[in-house]
Structure 1
Amino acid sequence: MIFFCNTNTRTKAAIIRRVQFREGSLPVTYLGLPLITKRLSRTDYAPLVERLTARASSWISKALSFAGRLQLVKATLVSMQVYWCSAFFLPSTFAKECDRILRKFLWGGQGRGKVKWTEVCKPMAEGGLGIKEMKTWNRALLLKQVWDILMDQSLWARWCHVYLIKQSKFWIMPANGLQSWSWRQILLLMPVAKEHLIYKCGRGDIFSLWFDLGCMENQYIHYMGIGLSMTHIWAGWR
Protein backbone atom coordinates (compact mmCIF):
# COMPACT_ATOMS: atom_id res chain seq x y z
CA MET A 1 0.00 0.00 0.00
CA ILE A 2 1.04 3.62 -0.45
CA PHE A 3 0.12 6.57 1.77
CA PHE A 4 -0.03 10.22 0.74
CA CYS A 5 0.15 13.52 2.57
CA ASN A 6 -0.56 16.96 1.04
CA THR A 7 -0.56 15.49 -2.51
CA ASN A 8 -2.97 16.63 -5.20
CA THR A 9 -5.25 14.17 -7.00
CA ARG A 10 -3.43 14.27 -10.35
CA THR A 11 -0.03 13.53 -8.76
CA LYS A 12 -1.47 10.71 -6.67
CA ALA A 13 -3.06 9.10 -9.71
CA ALA A 14 0.21 9.27 -11.64
CA ILE A 15 2.18 7.69 -8.78
CA ILE A 16 -0.37 4.92 -8.21
CA ARG A 17 -0.44 4.14 -11.94
CA ARG A 18 3.33 3.80 -12.02
CA VAL A 19 3.95 1.82 -8.82
CA GLN A 20 0.73 -0.25 -9.01
CA PHE A 21 0.12 0.03 -5.25
CA ARG A 22 -3.20 0.44 -3.48
CA GLU A 23 -3.76 3.75 -1.68
CA GLY A 24 -4.08 3.41 2.08
CA SER A 25 -5.45 5.82 4.65
CA LEU A 26 -3.65 7.07 7.74
CA PRO A 27 -3.20 6.47 10.57
CA VAL A 28 -1.70 2.99 10.55
CA THR A 29 0.60 1.36 13.09
CA TYR A 30 4.22 0.78 12.10
CA LEU A 31 6.89 -0.55 14.51
CA GLY A 32 4.51 0.08 17.39
CA LEU A 33 3.87 3.74 16.56
CA PRO A 34 1.00 5.37 14.65
CA LEU A 35 1.94 6.87 11.29
CA ILE A 36 0.12 10.21 11.22
CA THR A 37 0.39 13.61 9.58
CA LYS A 38 -1.69 15.51 12.12
CA ARG A 39 -1.61 16.13 15.85
CA LEU A 40 -1.86 13.06 18.06
CA SER A 41 -5.40 12.44 19.24
CA ARG A 42 -6.54 10.57 22.33
CA THR A 43 -7.31 7.54 20.17
CA ASP A 44 -3.75 7.53 18.80
CA TYR A 45 -1.99 7.46 22.16
CA ALA A 46 -4.57 5.31 23.99
CA PRO A 47 -2.54 2.07 23.42
CA LEU A 48 0.42 3.43 25.40
CA VAL A 49 -1.80 4.61 28.26
CA GLU A 50 -3.41 1.16 28.35
CA ARG A 51 -0.02 -0.54 28.42
CA LEU A 52 1.19 1.66 31.28
CA THR A 53 -2.00 1.05 33.23
CA ALA A 54 -1.85 -2.71 32.67
CA ARG A 55 1.80 -2.94 33.71
CA ALA A 56 1.27 -0.85 36.85
CA SER A 57 -1.84 -2.86 37.75
CA SER A 58 0.02 -6.16 37.36
CA TRP A 59 2.18 -5.30 40.38
CA ILE A 60 0.77 -5.33 43.90
CA SER A 61 1.94 -1.88 44.95
CA LYS A 62 0.96 -2.26 48.61
CA ALA A 63 3.15 -5.36 48.93
CA LEU A 64 6.22 -3.45 47.74
CA SER A 65 8.34 -1.03 49.71
CA PHE A 66 8.50 2.59 48.63
CA ALA A 67 12.06 2.01 47.35
CA GLY A 68 10.82 -0.96 45.32
CA ARG A 69 7.99 1.03 43.76
CA LEU A 70 10.37 3.88 42.96
CA GLN A 71 12.76 1.50 41.21
CA LEU A 72 9.95 0.01 39.12
CA VAL A 73 8.76 3.48 38.12
CA LYS A 74 12.23 4.63 37.04
CA ALA A 75 13.35 1.38 35.41
CA THR A 76 10.16 0.20 33.72
CA LEU A 77 7.22 2.60 33.59
CA VAL A 78 9.26 5.64 32.52
CA SER A 79 11.22 3.55 30.00
CA MET A 80 7.99 2.48 28.30
CA GLN A 81 7.40 6.11 27.30
CA VAL A 82 10.85 6.75 25.77
CA TYR A 83 10.01 5.28 22.35
CA TRP A 84 6.99 7.55 21.95
CA CYS A 85 8.78 10.58 23.40
CA SER A 86 11.53 10.16 20.81
CA ALA A 87 9.08 10.27 17.89
CA PHE A 88 6.25 12.67 18.77
CA PHE A 89 5.61 15.91 20.56
CA LEU A 90 3.11 14.49 23.04
CA PRO A 91 0.00 16.48 24.06
CA SER A 92 -0.24 17.86 27.59
CA THR A 93 -3.29 15.69 28.28
CA PHE A 94 -1.26 12.58 27.45
CA ALA A 95 1.62 13.70 29.69
CA LYS A 96 -0.78 14.31 32.57
CA GLU A 97 -2.34 10.86 32.17
CA CYS A 98 1.06 9.16 32.22
CA ASP A 99 2.19 11.17 35.24
CA ARG A 100 -1.04 10.25 37.03
CA ILE A 101 -0.39 6.53 36.46
CA LEU A 102 3.18 6.82 37.74
CA ARG A 103 2.15 8.97 40.70
CA LYS A 104 -0.64 6.62 41.75
CA PHE A 105 1.65 3.58 41.66
CA LEU A 106 4.50 5.35 43.46
CA TRP A 107 2.29 6.40 46.37
CA GLY A 108 0.83 2.92 46.78
CA GLY A 109 -2.47 3.37 44.97
CA GLN A 110 -3.19 6.88 46.23
CA GLY A 111 -3.71 9.59 43.66
CA ARG A 112 -1.83 12.19 45.65
CA GLY A 113 1.30 12.08 47.72
CA LYS A 114 2.76 14.27 50.39
CA VAL A 115 5.17 15.89 47.93
CA LYS A 116 4.33 17.73 44.72
CA TRP A 117 5.06 15.78 41.55
CA THR A 118 7.26 18.61 40.25
CA GLU A 119 9.47 18.17 43.34
CA VAL A 120 9.53 14.38 42.93
CA CYS A 121 10.78 14.76 39.33
CA LYS A 122 13.77 16.88 40.33
CA PRO A 123 17.24 15.26 40.26
CA MET A 124 18.30 13.57 43.48
CA ALA A 125 21.05 16.16 43.93
CA GLU A 126 18.31 18.82 44.12
CA GLY A 127 16.17 16.93 46.63
CA GLY A 128 13.97 15.00 44.20
CA LEU A 129 13.71 11.30 43.41
CA GLY A 130 15.18 11.48 39.91
CA ILE A 131 12.01 10.50 38.00
CA LYS A 132 12.04 11.99 34.52
CA GLU A 133 9.23 14.50 34.07
CA MET A 134 7.28 13.61 30.95
CA LYS A 135 7.10 16.96 29.15
CA THR A 136 10.76 17.86 29.78
CA TRP A 137 11.95 14.40 28.76
CA ASN A 138 9.83 14.60 25.59
CA ARG A 139 11.41 17.91 24.53
CA ALA A 140 14.91 16.64 25.30
CA LEU A 141 14.48 13.56 23.12
CA LEU A 142 13.03 15.63 20.25
CA LEU A 143 15.98 18.02 20.51
CA LYS A 144 18.16 15.00 19.81
CA GLN A 145 16.48 14.88 16.38
CA VAL A 146 17.50 18.51 15.82
CA TRP A 147 21.06 17.55 16.74
CA ASP A 148 21.00 14.61 14.30
CA ILE A 149 19.92 16.98 11.51
CA LEU A 150 22.66 19.49 12.35
CA MET A 151 25.35 16.80 12.49
CA ASP A 152 23.87 14.75 9.62
CA GLN A 153 24.45 11.61 11.68
CA SER A 154 21.71 9.29 10.44
CA LEU A 155 19.92 8.08 7.32
CA TRP A 156 16.82 9.97 8.48
CA ALA A 157 18.84 13.20 8.84
CA ARG A 158 20.25 12.82 5.32
CA TRP A 159 16.73 12.25 4.01
CA CYS A 160 15.59 15.48 5.74
CA HIS A 161 18.41 17.42 4.08
CA VAL A 162 17.50 16.10 0.62
CA TYR A 163 13.70 16.26 0.70
CA LEU A 164 12.71 18.73 3.43
CA ILE A 165 15.52 21.22 3.93
CA LYS A 166 16.96 21.05 0.40
CA GLN A 167 18.94 24.25 -0.28
CA SER A 168 17.35 26.20 2.58
CA LYS A 169 18.98 27.13 5.86
CA PHE A 170 17.66 24.93 8.65
CA TRP A 171 17.65 27.78 11.19
CA ILE A 172 15.38 30.01 9.11
CA MET A 173 12.88 27.44 7.84
CA PRO A 174 9.28 28.51 8.57
CA ALA A 175 7.26 26.20 10.79
CA ASN A 176 4.14 26.47 8.63
CA GLY A 177 2.89 25.53 5.19
CA LEU A 178 2.38 22.05 3.72
CA GLN A 179 4.39 20.18 6.32
CA SER A 180 3.56 17.30 8.60
CA TRP A 181 2.68 18.05 12.19
CA SER A 182 5.75 16.17 13.49
CA TRP A 183 8.15 18.17 11.29
CA ARG A 184 6.58 21.45 12.39
CA GLN A 185 7.12 20.50 16.04
CA ILE A 186 10.81 19.91 15.33
CA LEU A 187 11.11 23.33 13.66
CA LEU A 188 9.37 24.97 16.63
CA LEU A 189 12.11 23.59 18.91
CA MET A 190 14.85 25.47 17.05
CA PRO A 191 14.85 28.48 19.46
CA VAL A 192 15.42 26.07 22.36
CA ALA A 193 18.22 24.35 20.44
CA LYS A 194 19.91 27.69 19.73
CA GLU A 195 20.08 28.49 23.45
CA HIS A 196 22.01 25.31 24.19
CA LEU A 197 24.44 25.14 21.26
CA ILE A 198 28.12 25.89 21.77
CA TYR A 199 30.39 26.63 18.82
CA LYS A 200 34.04 25.68 18.87
CA CYS A 201 36.39 28.09 17.11
CA GLY A 202 38.04 26.58 14.08
CA ARG A 203 38.86 27.52 10.50
CA GLY A 204 35.50 29.25 9.96
CA ASP A 205 35.09 28.29 6.30
CA ILE A 206 31.65 26.72 6.89
CA PHE A 207 30.22 29.37 9.18
CA SER A 208 27.74 32.06 8.09
CA LEU A 209 27.66 35.35 9.96
CA TRP A 210 23.96 35.81 9.29
CA PHE A 211 22.41 32.37 9.28
CA ASP A 212 24.48 30.46 11.83
CA LEU A 213 24.91 31.01 15.52
CA GLY A 214 28.09 32.44 16.98
CA CYS A 215 29.47 34.41 19.86
CA MET A 216 27.69 37.56 18.58
CA GLU A 217 24.02 38.23 17.85
CA ASN A 218 22.94 39.37 14.40
CA GLN A 219 22.30 42.94 15.55
CA TYR A 220 25.97 43.31 16.46
CA ILE A 221 26.91 42.03 13.03
CA HIS A 222 24.65 44.70 11.58
CA TYR A 223 26.53 47.37 13.54
CA MET A 224 29.74 46.08 11.97
CA GLY A 225 28.37 47.14 8.57
CA ILE A 226 27.75 43.68 7.16
CA GLY A 227 24.43 43.61 5.28
CA LEU A 228 21.97 40.74 5.05
CA SER A 229 22.55 40.48 1.29
CA MET A 230 26.20 39.63 1.92
CA THR A 231 25.40 35.99 2.55
CA HIS A 232 28.65 34.71 1.08
CA ILE A 233 30.80 36.28 3.78
CA TRP A 234 32.06 33.66 6.20
CA ALA A 235 33.48 34.16 9.66
CA GLY A 236 37.04 33.02 10.17
CA TRP A 237 38.50 32.30 13.55
CA ARG A 238 42.20 32.05 14.16
Structure 2
Amino acid sequence: MSPFLFVLVMEVLTLILLQRIEQNGGFSYHWRCDRIQLFQLGFADDLLLFSKADPNSVRLFKEGLTVFAELSGLQANLQKSNLILSRSATPLRDTLLAILDFQEGHLPLRYLGLPLLASRLSVADCRPILQKIEARIRGWDGIVLSFAGRVQLIKSVLSALQVYWAMAFILPKHVIKEIEKRLRNFLWKGSIETGYAKVSWKQVCRPVNEGGLGIRDIHALNKSLMSRHLWRLIAQERSSIWVNWIFHYRLQHYSVWTISTRSGTWGWRKLIRLRDSLRRASHIVLEMGLPFLYGMIHGMLEGP
Protein backbone atom coordinates (compact mmCIF):
# COMPACT_ATOMS: atom_id res chain seq x y z
CA MET A 1 0.00 0.00 0.00
CA SER A 2 1.38 3.42 -0.96
CA PRO A 3 1.97 5.95 1.84
CA PHE A 4 -0.63 8.36 0.43
CA LEU A 5 -3.25 5.63 0.17
CA PHE A 6 -2.47 4.53 3.72
CA VAL A 7 -2.99 8.10 4.98
CA LEU A 8 -6.41 8.16 3.32
CA VAL A 9 -7.33 4.85 4.92
CA MET A 10 -6.25 6.06 8.37
CA GLU A 11 -8.34 9.20 7.84
CA VAL A 12 -11.34 6.87 7.68
CA LEU A 13 -10.45 5.60 11.16
CA THR A 14 -10.31 9.17 12.43
CA LEU A 15 -13.77 9.89 11.02
CA ILE A 16 -15.17 6.68 12.50
CA LEU A 17 -13.85 7.54 15.96
CA LEU A 18 -14.98 11.17 15.68
CA GLN A 19 -18.48 10.12 14.65
CA ARG A 20 -18.84 7.78 17.60
CA ILE A 21 -17.53 10.42 20.01
CA GLU A 22 -19.96 13.06 18.73
CA GLN A 23 -22.97 10.74 18.64
CA ASN A 24 -22.34 9.15 22.03
CA GLY A 25 -22.45 11.41 25.07
CA GLY A 26 -20.49 8.92 27.15
CA PHE A 27 -17.02 9.84 25.88
CA SER A 28 -14.74 11.80 28.21
CA TYR A 29 -11.58 13.47 26.94
CA HIS A 30 -8.32 13.17 28.81
CA TRP A 31 -8.04 16.09 31.23
CA ARG A 32 -5.07 17.45 29.27
CA CYS A 33 -6.84 17.14 25.92
CA ASP A 34 -10.39 18.38 26.50
CA ARG A 35 -9.75 22.07 25.67
CA ILE A 36 -8.65 21.22 22.13
CA GLN A 37 -10.72 18.01 21.91
CA LEU A 38 -7.70 15.88 21.12
CA PHE A 39 -8.31 12.15 21.10
CA GLN A 40 -5.69 10.78 18.71
CA LEU A 41 -2.26 11.31 17.18
CA GLY A 42 -1.00 9.17 14.36
CA PHE A 43 1.87 8.77 11.96
CA ALA A 44 1.47 6.05 9.34
CA ASP A 45 0.38 2.96 11.29
CA ASP A 46 1.62 4.22 14.68
CA LEU A 47 -1.44 5.46 16.54
CA LEU A 48 -1.96 7.04 19.96
CA LEU A 49 -5.47 7.31 21.42
CA PHE A 50 -6.26 9.50 24.44
CA SER A 51 -9.25 9.49 26.78
CA LYS A 52 -10.23 9.58 30.40
CA ALA A 53 -9.72 6.21 32.06
CA ASP A 54 -13.37 5.16 32.13
CA PRO A 55 -15.07 2.11 30.55
CA ASN A 56 -17.44 4.10 28.30
CA SER A 57 -14.64 6.05 26.60
CA VAL A 58 -12.42 3.01 26.14
CA ARG A 59 -15.35 1.00 24.82
CA LEU A 60 -15.99 3.65 22.15
CA PHE A 61 -12.40 3.27 20.99
CA LYS A 62 -12.78 -0.49 20.86
CA GLU A 63 -16.00 -0.26 18.85
CA GLY A 64 -14.41 2.21 16.42
CA LEU A 65 -11.38 -0.03 15.89
CA THR A 66 -13.68 -3.01 15.30
CA VAL A 67 -15.73 -1.16 12.67
CA PHE A 68 -12.53 0.02 10.97
CA ALA A 69 -11.18 -3.55 10.90
CA GLU A 70 -14.38 -4.81 9.26
CA LEU A 71 -14.23 -2.11 6.58
CA SER A 72 -10.50 -2.14 5.81
CA GLY A 73 -9.21 -5.49 7.00
CA LEU A 74 -6.59 -3.68 9.10
CA GLN A 75 -6.55 -4.78 12.72
CA ALA A 76 -4.63 -3.62 15.77
CA ASN A 77 -1.70 -5.88 16.60
CA LEU A 78 -2.59 -7.03 20.12
CA GLN A 79 1.01 -8.05 20.85
CA LYS A 80 2.27 -4.53 20.06
CA SER A 81 -0.67 -2.52 21.43
CA ASN A 82 -0.54 -1.16 24.96
CA LEU A 83 -2.89 0.49 27.42
CA ILE A 84 -1.10 3.06 29.57
CA LEU A 85 -2.82 4.15 32.76
CA SER A 86 -2.08 6.73 35.41
CA ARG A 87 -1.81 5.66 39.03
CA SER A 88 -5.24 7.08 39.82
CA ALA A 89 -6.80 4.69 37.29
CA THR A 90 -5.35 1.54 38.88
CA PRO A 91 -8.74 0.36 40.28
CA LEU A 92 -10.11 0.22 36.70
CA ARG A 93 -7.06 -1.54 35.30
CA ASP A 94 -8.55 -5.03 34.83
CA THR A 95 -11.83 -3.70 33.43
CA LEU A 96 -10.15 -1.51 30.80
CA LEU A 97 -7.66 -4.20 29.78
CA ALA A 98 -10.53 -6.66 29.32
CA ILE A 99 -12.39 -4.22 27.04
CA LEU A 100 -9.43 -3.57 24.72
CA ASP A 101 -7.66 -6.92 25.09
CA PHE A 102 -4.36 -5.00 24.99
CA GLN A 103 -1.26 -5.49 27.09
CA GLU A 104 -0.58 -3.04 29.89
CA GLY A 105 2.21 -0.61 29.02
CA HIS A 106 4.36 1.65 31.17
CA LEU A 107 6.31 4.82 30.49
CA PRO A 108 8.87 5.27 29.15
CA LEU A 109 8.13 3.48 25.89
CA ARG A 110 9.27 4.13 22.35
CA TYR A 111 7.18 5.89 19.71
CA LEU A 112 8.57 6.67 16.24
CA GLY A 113 12.03 5.79 17.50
CA LEU A 114 11.97 8.22 20.45
CA PRO A 115 11.18 7.64 24.12
CA LEU A 116 7.84 8.84 25.51
CA LEU A 117 8.63 10.11 28.98
CA ALA A 118 6.83 11.28 32.09
CA SER A 119 10.08 12.54 33.63
CA ARG A 120 13.35 14.14 32.58
CA LEU A 121 15.43 12.69 29.78
CA SER A 122 18.23 10.56 31.21
CA VAL A 123 21.46 9.18 29.81
CA ALA A 124 19.88 5.71 29.82
CA ASP A 125 17.00 6.99 27.66
CA CYS A 126 19.56 8.22 25.10
CA ARG A 127 21.46 4.95 24.98
CA PRO A 128 19.94 3.99 21.57
CA ILE A 129 21.50 6.98 19.79
CA LEU A 130 24.91 6.18 21.30
CA GLN A 131 24.54 2.57 20.22
CA LYS A 132 23.67 3.64 16.66
CA ILE A 133 26.81 5.74 16.42
CA GLU A 134 28.94 2.91 17.80
CA ALA A 135 27.38 0.42 15.37
CA ARG A 136 28.15 2.65 12.38
CA ILE A 137 31.75 3.14 13.47
CA ARG A 138 32.24 -0.60 14.05
CA GLY A 139 30.82 -1.21 10.57
CA TRP A 140 33.77 0.71 9.13
CA ASP A 141 36.42 -1.17 11.11
CA GLY A 142 37.59 -3.24 8.14
CA ILE A 143 37.79 -0.27 5.78
CA VAL A 144 40.97 1.77 5.41
CA LEU A 145 39.87 5.39 5.66
CA SER A 146 41.96 8.50 5.25
CA PHE A 147 41.66 11.39 7.68
CA ALA A 148 39.66 13.35 5.08
CA GLY A 149 37.40 10.34 4.60
CA ARG A 150 36.68 10.12 8.33
CA VAL A 151 35.89 13.84 8.43
CA GLN A 152 33.40 13.41 5.60
CA LEU A 153 31.74 10.41 7.28
CA ILE A 154 31.36 12.38 10.51
CA LYS A 155 29.76 15.28 8.63
CA SER A 156 27.45 13.28 6.38
CA VAL A 157 26.61 10.17 8.43
CA LEU A 158 27.47 10.29 12.13
CA SER A 159 26.37 13.89 12.70
CA ALA A 160 23.05 13.16 11.00
CA LEU A 161 22.22 10.31 13.39
CA GLN A 162 21.54 12.62 16.33
CA VAL A 163 19.61 15.29 14.39
CA TYR A 164 16.29 13.46 14.85
CA TRP A 165 16.81 13.38 18.61
CA ALA A 166 18.12 16.96 18.68
CA MET A 167 14.88 18.15 17.07
CA ALA A 168 12.75 16.56 19.82
CA PHE A 169 14.78 16.92 23.04
CA ILE A 170 17.28 19.22 24.65
CA LEU A 171 19.96 16.60 25.08
CA PRO A 172 21.64 16.27 28.50
CA LYS A 173 25.19 17.64 28.60
CA HIS A 174 26.58 14.22 29.50
CA VAL A 175 24.95 12.68 26.43
CA ILE A 176 26.43 15.39 24.19
CA LYS A 177 29.86 14.70 25.70
CA GLU A 178 29.44 10.97 25.06
CA ILE A 179 28.49 11.62 21.42
CA GLU A 180 31.44 13.98 20.95
CA LYS A 181 33.74 11.41 22.56
CA ARG A 182 32.76 8.80 19.98
CA LEU A 183 33.11 11.23 17.08
CA ARG A 184 36.46 12.44 18.38
CA ASN A 185 37.81 8.90 18.79
CA PHE A 186 36.69 7.99 15.28
CA LEU A 187 38.28 11.14 13.85
CA TRP A 188 41.72 10.53 15.36
CA LYS A 189 41.79 6.73 15.81
CA GLY A 190 39.30 5.44 13.24
CA SER A 191 37.46 3.49 15.96
CA ILE A 192 35.51 4.01 19.20
CA GLU A 193 38.61 3.32 21.28
CA THR A 194 39.91 6.28 23.23
CA GLY A 195 42.85 7.94 21.55
CA TYR A 196 44.99 11.05 21.77
CA ALA A 197 43.31 14.11 20.24
CA LYS A 198 45.74 16.35 18.39
CA VAL A 199 43.38 19.35 18.40
CA SER A 200 40.62 20.35 20.82
CA TRP A 201 37.11 19.38 19.75
CA LYS A 202 36.01 23.01 20.04
CA GLN A 203 38.57 23.96 17.41
CA VAL A 204 37.57 21.02 15.21
CA CYS A 205 33.97 22.29 15.17
CA ARG A 206 34.94 25.75 13.94
CA PRO A 207 34.20 26.69 10.29
CA VAL A 208 36.89 25.84 7.75
CA ASN A 209 37.66 29.52 7.14
CA GLU A 210 38.42 29.88 10.86
CA GLY A 211 40.86 26.98 10.97
CA GLY A 212 38.41 24.22 11.88
CA LEU A 213 37.07 21.20 10.03
CA GLY A 214 33.48 22.42 9.74
CA ILE A 215 32.04 19.61 11.87
CA ARG A 216 28.80 20.77 13.48
CA ASP A 217 28.87 21.55 17.20
CA ILE A 218 26.23 19.26 18.71
CA HIS A 219 25.28 21.59 21.55
CA ALA A 220 24.80 24.56 19.19
CA LEU A 221 22.90 22.39 16.70
CA ASN A 222 20.61 21.11 19.46
CA LYS A 223 19.85 24.65 20.65
CA SER A 224 19.13 25.92 17.14
CA LEU A 225 16.83 23.01 16.28
CA MET A 226 14.89 23.33 19.54
CA SER A 227 14.65 27.11 19.15
CA ARG A 228 12.56 26.46 16.05
CA HIS A 229 9.76 25.36 18.38
CA LEU A 230 9.86 28.72 20.16
CA TRP A 231 9.67 30.51 16.82
CA ARG A 232 6.56 28.50 16.01
CA LEU A 233 5.00 29.71 19.26
CA ILE A 234 6.00 33.31 18.54
CA ALA A 235 4.50 33.02 15.04
CA GLN A 236 1.38 31.41 16.59
CA GLU A 237 1.18 28.53 14.12
CA ARG A 238 -2.22 27.40 15.38
CA SER A 239 -2.48 24.83 12.58
CA SER A 240 0.07 22.81 14.57
CA ILE A 241 -1.48 20.53 17.20
CA TRP A 242 1.56 21.02 19.42
CA VAL A 243 1.42 24.83 19.21
CA ASN A 244 -2.33 24.80 19.87
CA TRP A 245 -1.85 22.53 22.88
CA ILE A 246 0.92 24.72 24.30
CA PHE A 247 -1.25 27.84 24.06
CA HIS A 248 -4.12 26.14 25.88
CA TYR A 249 -2.20 24.30 28.59
CA ARG A 250 1.16 26.03 29.04
CA LEU A 251 1.10 29.65 27.89
CA GLN A 252 -2.61 30.41 28.38
CA HIS A 253 -2.63 34.21 29.00
CA TYR A 254 1.19 34.47 29.03
CA SER A 255 3.62 34.84 26.14
CA VAL A 256 6.90 33.08 25.42
CA TRP A 257 8.69 36.12 26.89
CA THR A 258 6.73 36.48 30.14
CA ILE A 259 5.94 32.95 31.31
CA SER A 260 7.94 31.65 34.28
CA THR A 261 10.76 29.22 33.62
CA ARG A 262 10.17 27.51 36.97
CA SER A 263 6.83 25.86 36.22
CA GLY A 264 5.94 22.94 33.98
CA THR A 265 7.77 19.77 33.06
CA TRP A 266 11.53 19.40 32.79
CA GLY A 267 11.40 19.52 28.99
CA TRP A 268 9.20 22.63 28.92
CA ARG A 269 11.43 24.51 31.38
CA LYS A 270 14.50 23.66 29.30
CA LEU A 271 12.79 24.80 26.11
CA ILE A 272 11.49 28.12 27.43
CA ARG A 273 14.94 29.04 28.74
CA LEU A 274 16.16 29.15 25.15
CA ARG A 275 14.27 32.43 24.71
CA ASP A 276 17.33 34.32 25.95
CA SER A 277 19.23 33.08 22.89
CA LEU A 278 16.47 34.44 20.66
CA ARG A 279 16.67 37.81 22.38
CA ARG A 280 20.40 37.96 21.77
CA ALA A 281 19.85 37.04 18.12
CA SER A 282 17.51 40.01 17.66
CA HIS A 283 20.18 42.36 19.04
CA ILE A 284 22.73 40.94 16.60
CA VAL A 285 20.44 41.80 13.70
CA LEU A 286 20.21 45.39 14.97
CA GLU A 287 23.97 45.73 15.22
CA MET A 288 24.36 44.46 11.66
CA GLY A 289 22.45 47.54 10.52
CA LEU A 290 19.56 45.85 8.72
CA PRO A 291 16.64 48.05 9.77
CA PHE A 292 13.95 46.36 7.66
CA LEU A 293 14.82 42.87 8.84
CA TYR A 294 15.13 44.05 12.43
CA GLY A 295 11.80 45.84 12.20
CA MET A 296 10.13 42.67 10.97
CA ILE A 297 11.65 40.52 13.73
CA HIS A 298 11.05 43.18 16.38
CA GLY A 299 7.38 43.25 15.41
CA MET A 300 7.15 39.49 15.81
CA LEU A 301 8.84 39.54 19.20
CA GLU A 302 7.23 42.58 20.79
CA GLY A 303 3.98 43.01 18.87
CA PRO A 304 2.72 46.13 17.08
TM-score normalised by L of structure 1 = 0.74
Measured after TM superposition, the shift of residue 200 of structure 1 is: 4.4
Q: Given the alignment, which residue of 191, 197, 210 partners 1:113? A: 197
Does 152-161 or 44-53 show the bigger shift?
A: 152-161
Q: Distance in 2 between matches of 1:40 and 1:61?
A: 35
What secondary structure, in the 3-state scheme, does the structure 2 residue paired with 1:38 have?
A: coil
Work out whether residues 123 and 131 of structure 1, in 8 Å CA contact, stay in contact via their aligned partners in 2. yes
1:127 aligns with: 211
Task: State the alpha-carbon separation in 2 of the partners of residues 16 and 138 from structure 1.
Answer: 36
In 2 relative to 1, CA 62–112 (structure 1 residues): closer, same or farther, beyond 3 Å? farther
- Structure 1 stretch displaced more, 78-87 or 159-168: 159-168
Name the amino acid aligned to 1:135.
H
Q: CA RMSD in A?
A: 2.7
More strand by share: 2
Q: How does 1:70-149 map to 2 (within 5 A)?
A: 70-107=151-188, 108-109=190-191, 111-149=195-233
Does structure 2 conserve the Cα–Cα contact (< 8 Å) formed by 1:37 and 1:182?
no
CA contact (8 A) 1:3 1:25 kept: no
In the alignment, the residues of structure 2 paired with residue 41 and residue 168 of structure 1 have an alpha-carbon distance, to the nearest angstrom, of 29
CA distance in 2, matches of 1:86, 1:163: 21
Aligned residues: 199
User: In structure 2, what is the equivalent of residue 49 of structure 1?
Assistant: 130
Give the whole-Å Cα distance in 1 for the aligned partners of 2:181 and 2:222. Answer: 16
SS for the counterpart of 2:254 is coil
Q: Who is 2:274 aligned against?
A: 189
Q: Is residue 15 from structure 1 mapped to residue 52 from structure 2 by the alignment?
A: yes
Give secondary structure in 2 for the equivalent of 1:42: coil
Once the two structures are overlaid, the 10-residue window that deviates more, 95-104 or 20-29, is 20-29
In the other structure, the counterpart of 1:217 is none
How many angstroms does 1:191 deviate by? 1.2
In the alignment, the residues of structure 2 paired with residue 133 and residue 4 of structure 1 have an alpha-carbon distance, to the nearest angstrom, of: 40
Q: CA-to-partner distance for each residue in 1:151-200, whole Å, 9 max, x for gaps?
A: 134512233223321222221101123x2221111111111111113564
Q: Which has the higher contact order (CA 8 A, sep 6+)?
A: 1
1:151 counterpart residue number: 235
Code of the aligned partner of 1:103 = R
Aligned with 1:25 (options 100, 106, 113): 106
Determine if contact 2:205/2:214 at 8 Å carries over to the other structure.
Answer: yes
Distance 1:3 1:97, change over 3 A: farther
Shift of 1:148: 1.4
Taking structure 1 as reference, are residues 46 and 201 closer, same or farther at Cα in structure 2, changes over 3 Å only? Answer: closer
| 2:199 aligned with 1:162 | no
Are the counterparts in 2 of residues 89 and 185 from structure 1 also a CA contact under 8 Å? yes
Q: Distance in 1 between matches of 2:84 and 2:179?
A: 37
Structure-2-length-normalised TM-score: 0.59
Task: Measure how far apart 1:88 and its partner are.
Answer: 0.8
Identical-pair percentage: 34
